[in-house]
Amino acid sequence: MVEWSSQASLEKHWHLPLSVAPSDSPIAQVRGQIYFISNFAKPLLDLVAQAVPGIFDFAIALLRN
């Protein structure tokens, strides 16, 4: 969660549009992480696992966690 708040701070500093919505709620931050993993990280890892079979076990571990 620290990296997301750091990213938001840098974007604000450089007057860039925020790519991560800041949140004071820990529950909202957790939901954001779950959304990111489910919609970006896991699908990307699944595609990489098709090209690099040794990564398949990591994709399964991500799904379990």
3-state secondary structure of 15: coil
Q: Are 29 and 4 in contact (CB under 8 A)?
A: yes
**0.75 surpassed by pTM:** no
Please give the Cα distance from 12 to 9 (Å, whole number).
Answer: 5
In tens, the pLDDT along 35-54 reads 888 899 889 988 888 898 88
Are 18 and 12 in contact, with CB atoms under 8 Å apart? yes
CB 6 within 8 A of CB 18: no
pLDDT in tens, 7-36: 888 989 999 998 877 777 889 888 888 888
Nearest one of 32, 65, 62 to 45, comparing CA atoms: 62
Domains in the chain: boundaries:
23-65
